[in-house]
Amino acid sequence: MRPNALMLSVLLAAPAGAQSVAEDPYLWLEGVEDAKALDWVRGENAKTQAELTGTAEFAALRDDLRAIMDSNARIPGVTKMGDYYYNFWRDKANPAGLWRRTTLAEYRKAEPAWDVLIDLDALNKAENANWVWHGADCLKPAYDRCLIALSRGGADADETREFDLAGKRWLKDGFFRPEAKGALGWKSRDEVYVYTDFGAGSMTESGYPRIAKLWRRGTPLASAKTVYEGRADDMYIAAMRDDTTGFERDFVSRTLAFYNDELYLIGADGGLAKVDAPNSAQKSVHKRHLLLELREAWTVAGKTYPAGALIAADFDAFMQGQRAFRVLFEPSASTSLAGYSWTKDFLLLNVLDDVKNRISVLDPAKDWAARPLAGAPGFGTLSVSAVDDEESNDYFLTVTDYLTPTALMLGAVDAKPETLKQLPAFFDASQHQISQNFAVSKDGTRVPYFMVSRKGMALNGDNPTLLYGYGGFEISLTPSYSASVGRAWLSQGGVYVVANIRGGGEYGPRWHQAALKANRNKAYEDFAAVAEDLIARKVTQPKRLGMQGGSNGGLLMGNMTVMYPQLFGAVVCQVPLLDMKRYHKLLAGASWMAEYGNPDTDDWNFLKAYSPYQNVRADGNYPPVLFTTSTRDDRVHPGHARKMMARMAEQGHDVRYYENIEGGHGGAANNEQAAFMQALAYTFLKQKLFPED
């Protein structure tokens, strides 16, 4: 049970604070669905469509990308519940998607027979809505009742409905949570934990739930009993049940900020007992084990455990005051913990070594003895997860890299895994190769980056190159197969580069913490160092070098545009943060202050240097930029991109803009929209970076 994984999947709204029009003449564009603002959006969209979408090449690329996304040859990822394997699937015939299930015997087949449980397109038609699937939580052991989360247009906010799996019907009098940020989760057949918008004062300043309650079936939501009430300046409060057979426990999670949380065990009397580990540690309870992923060095019981380590203790003994730990992983200069997964009897440990995966099997019954995972491939990005952590030692292993179509394997500990599914080759990669290189940043730090290029590529400085980056929130960028990149960029003769800059998690917490707050410049210096290395090696030159990033990567794009314009020939800036003076007042922005800082304090002294919106100048010589965002993004406010576009256009720079009216933080609510948005970006990049015919 890793309660924070749930929060980290969505924590990435509060009303806007006061600021004068003189300080910011484009404040009016922060009105997400304000008529005047949307008229401006439609006008800019029309200009961009006229510029980029009117050719046969655009239409062909859009259609090819849509065909890839809709292809029935894609791997249907599954989750095992009881005897069945569940999957959510979208294709051309089902753009909103189908929730369905099958057996393992069927799943092994090239074309499994699926039992469709929910047809989201039919639901949308019946309700005249645009529901986007957000997941299902089904109740053990029968798995006959499920809590289904549905988002309107792809926003983070969603509603939860109860579904009768046996009857394939929505329960008219079942549990229902109205649309808001939050969730429902089972405690028992007739009880759920609910954390949501209960009315005035019930949400945090970040726009997430502040109160968790226990709600009994047949009673109004208003009568639900409070389990925990956080503070307004907390980030996210949740309650959940660990339903592991024989180890059933209930918890409250209080998230104060990213990588800053508290975990409480709920007693039989409703009282709370804190899991007294550092707030910065990620806490995980499984059966009798407590695992702590340390993000800072921790001295306890006379011993110091380093940042980046994974340590284990007996959970019940820990709660009684004992502090005896076993070190399961300790980082080195080149290694970090990528993740772990429990099977019935073992812990599968996934480690990154210079951004390459290595998987080990740890046996807690034998004093955590470790051995390599039998039959694991020696190449590519490896991701491992248990099929069922209570019933077997089987696992799913996903294997991928930039050029090898992703494969899904099924294995058992100590037995060689078998390939169940593999993507077809959506583009011809036979003439391409992958290399890992290292650039040297301004302070001497070695920064790794991956490059995908044609074999025998001429180092003449004239190769159109796309550099991608993120650099935040301890998120690692590892090689993965992207048919879209292959079709739209590599097959056209482009070079694709991914930079593993500081702020990410490629080398664990130290890599992330090196670029926090006042040190944010390290991420930008790293990205610039990679660009400079590509130019110095004569892979490319500035007029052939483009860059792309979204969300925190959009902030990266904004700062690289403003701070290092001489290095780039084109920029795709997607769902970005750009106004760091006001980011904490817009939607979920307050939840990121641990990452960036608080502009209402002395933090503004360093933040103002990394706020693209405040630093863009009329006399700047910036590369052409395409800004894209989504009206329905309730995580990163579309006002960031709107205002930056308006300011740069008013200053006379080469900019264009497209805002998807739906789509959430991912920028698209279905495959049709995703294909259009991707085709828009690649068409722009090709126009700006490729030599004219």
Choosing from 551, 591, 611, 630, which is the catalytic residue?
A: 551
* Cα radius of gyration (the chain): 25
- Sequence-distant (6+) residues with CB within 8 A of 56 are none
User: How big is the CA angle at 464 (ends 459 and 466), to the nearest 5 degrees?
Assistant: 115
H-state helical runs in 514-638: 521-536, 552-563, 593-596, 604-607, 612-615
Distance CA 584, CA 2 (A): 27
Distance CA 99, CA 78 (A): 11
Would you give the DSSP letter of residue 15?
A: P
**Number of other CB atoms surrounding residue 323 within 10 Å:** 13
Side chain identity at residue 261, one-letter code: D
Distance CA 546, CA 534 (A): 12
Distance CA 430, CA 619 (A): 46
- Asked if the bond preceding 306 is cis, omega within 30° of 0, the reply is no
Looking only at the bridges linking them, the beta strands covering 625-630 and 655-660 are parallel
551 is catalytic: yes
Instruction: For tokens 């006042």, name the residue.
Output: 518
- Sequence-distant (6+) residues with CB within 8 A of 91 are 70, 71, 72, 671
Backbone angles phi, psi at 459, to 5 degrees: -90, 75
Q: State the distance between the two ends of the chain, measured CA to CA, in whole angstroms.
A: 57
**Number of other CB atoms surrounding residue 535 within 10 Å:** 17
Instruction: For tokens 């409480």, name the residue.
Output: 264
Report residue 568 as tokens. 């780039």
341 is catalytic: no
Choosing from 512, 584, 653, 665, which is the catalytic residue?
A: 665
Q: What amino acid positions are annotated as catalytic residues?
A: 551, 665
